[in-house]
Amino acid sequence: MSLFESLKKKIVVVTGGHQGIGKEVVDTFLNEDSIVVAADLAFENQELKQVSGNKYQIHLDVSDEDSVKKLTQNLVSAKLIPNVLVNVAGISTMDYLIESKTSDFDKTIAVNTRGTYLVAKYLVKLIVDAKNGGKVVFIASQAGKNGYRAMSSYVASKHAVLGLTKTLAIEVAKDKINVNAVCPGIIETSMKHRERKDGAVIRGLTPDEIEAEDNSQVPLGRTGTPKDVANVVLFLASPLSDYMTGQGINVTGGMTMN
């Protein structure tokens, strides 16, 4: 059921739209009868492909400038200039900082930080040039506000995403573009399940022990779902958030409150 008539037929571009939070964001906007372009490394088609009435998909490597440029060119050619941009694409690597691989750090920064920068550089320019205003939502993390053991690369990358959010929000406010970030807590995705396994090895625990630890840290008593995050993204894309910009909104069940 649609909640926001104003999002009907609006063009929404979602990076990382293949699985997890990204897929839930795609489905949430499709439920609003928006026109959604899902871009993801997992998609093989290098050109924009219409896969259903309102849904398009295309291959995208957010860390590769040429790939982001190609997405931009496809959107222009198809006359699908975004009204809403949601950058979800992200990865994590795990190890204690002094034992970590520099290549893992570089890869995480390339996707999470450089990727956010490139998507903003090219796709937000399309919104600016269209002169119709718009909404931009970056998926950051509560790791953009706190430190977590064995996740230095991810923490650093997500702190940077919040810095980009604040800066871009100031720069494009005059263009009637709102830029905000969502900071999820512990969300049950395949990435989180893999992190529990990797973290268990690093810390000498079991994945079940880490899951119990996760739940014990959340005042609301449960970890989150992709839908919990997608609902807040929808709010930030709607007229209800018109007087909000430059914010990092926690969706953490109370685990992070600042």
How many domains would you assign to the chain? Answer: 1
CA distance 183 to 254: 12
Stated as kind and residue range, the H or E segment containing 125 is: helix 125-130
CA distance 11 to 236: 15
What pLDDT digit, counting tens, does each position of 184-227 carry?
999 999 999 999 999 999 999 999 999 999 999 999 999 999 99
CA distance 195 to 94: 7
Give CB contacts under 8 A, 24+ apart, made by 69-74. Answer: 69/122, 70/46, 71/39, 71/122, 71/123, 72/122, 72/123, 72/126, 74/47, 74/48
DSSP string over 175-209: GTEEEEEEEE-SB-SHHHHHHHHHHHHHHT--HHH
CA-nearest of 117, 257, 228, 233 to 181 is 233
Classify the C-alpha dihedral 145-147-152-154 as positive or negative: negative
Residue 196 belongs to some domain of the structure? no
Residue 3 pLDDT more than 90? Answer: no
What pLDDT digit, counting tens, does each position of 82-132 carry?
999 999 999 999 999 999 999 999 999 999 999 999 999 999 999 999 999
Residues ≥6 apart with Cβ < 8 Å to 42:
18, 19
* Domain enclosing residue 68, as ranges: 5-187+226-251
Average pLDDT over residues 42-68: 97
Q: CATH number, domain at 26?
A: 3.40.50.720
Residue 48 belongs to some domain of the structure? yes
Residue 192 belongs to some domain of the structure? no
The greatest distance separating any two alpha carbons of the chain, rounded to the nearest whole angstrom, comes to 54
Residue 211 belongs to some domain of the structure? no
Q: Which pLDDT does position 4 carry in this prediction? A: 87
Residue 247 belongs to some domain of the structure? yes
C-alpha 25: how far from chain center: 9
Indicate the residue type of 128. V
Angle at 136 between CA 27 and CA 5, to 5 degrees: 55
Residue 210 belongs to some domain of the structure? no
Residues in the chain: 258
Q: Which pLDDT does position 7 carry in this prediction? A: 97
Residue 257 belongs to some domain of the structure? no
Q: Which of 56, 122, 148, 154 is catalytic?
A: 154
**Any catalytic annotation for residue 56?**
no
Percent of the chain at pLDDT exceeding 70: 100
Residue 194 belongs to some domain of the structure? no
